[in-house]
Amino acid sequence: MDEQGHPIVRAEVVADNTLFYNTNVIGYTDASGTYRLDIRQPVGTWHVTATMTLNYEGQTIPIDLVPESDEVLAGTVGGVRNFSFKPAATQYGNLGLVNIRTGIGFYGDPGEMTVTLKSVGTLADGSSNKTIAAKPVQSGDGYIIKNVMYGTYLATVSYQGQDLFVRKAVSSGPDATYGKSFTGGFWRDFYALRPTMFLEVSDVECPPILQRCQDQ
């Protein structure tokens, strides 16, 4: 089901045998959101997961559904495993990520920043008029905001009562210019495994160390 209790059709459900390598049973939910898998053979216990897909900017993005229980099932006994489409409590969540990077010469703590995201148009799940205000949390990939629905947002960043300058961060190619806000979506860069919004912030529009900026 989704967060409103509506059935999710064609969600892929996978039972993975915990004893035998690469031994899976795969099924799909029907129009009522239900499924049935036969896990009697081979003998053992099974870990069940489920995913659905979102269409965003011509991409089909798999989304992990959140299990009601993550315990394994004994194939000789079976059981019920329900899943929901909602933000996951895992370190990186299961939706879009916003990755915050600091510009040259700025040494503020990203964890103390407030990032405000206002949706522009319709998001990938069909919702609109969404506003998120959150502080980035540290992860193995830097400071992130997790579980942001894919779509276009107007992003602004503040720090200790000061509005920061923000721009799109890229791993190669020409740098974008800083502005009071950034409007855009999610893309793959910096070896990201899923589309991510990479933002770079600074307390000045043109850092003194950037000669290119000073020459303009």
Regions of the chain with pLDDT less than 50: 214
Asked whether the CA dihedral 144, 145, 147, 149 is positive or negative, the reply is negative
Please state the pTM of the whole predicted model: 0.90
Which tokens is 60 given?
A: 């089909």
Dihedral over alpha carbons 143, 135, 63, 34 (to 10 degrees): 150
Asked whether the beta carbons of 51 and 87 are under 8 A apart, the reply is no
Return the pLDDT at 171: 92
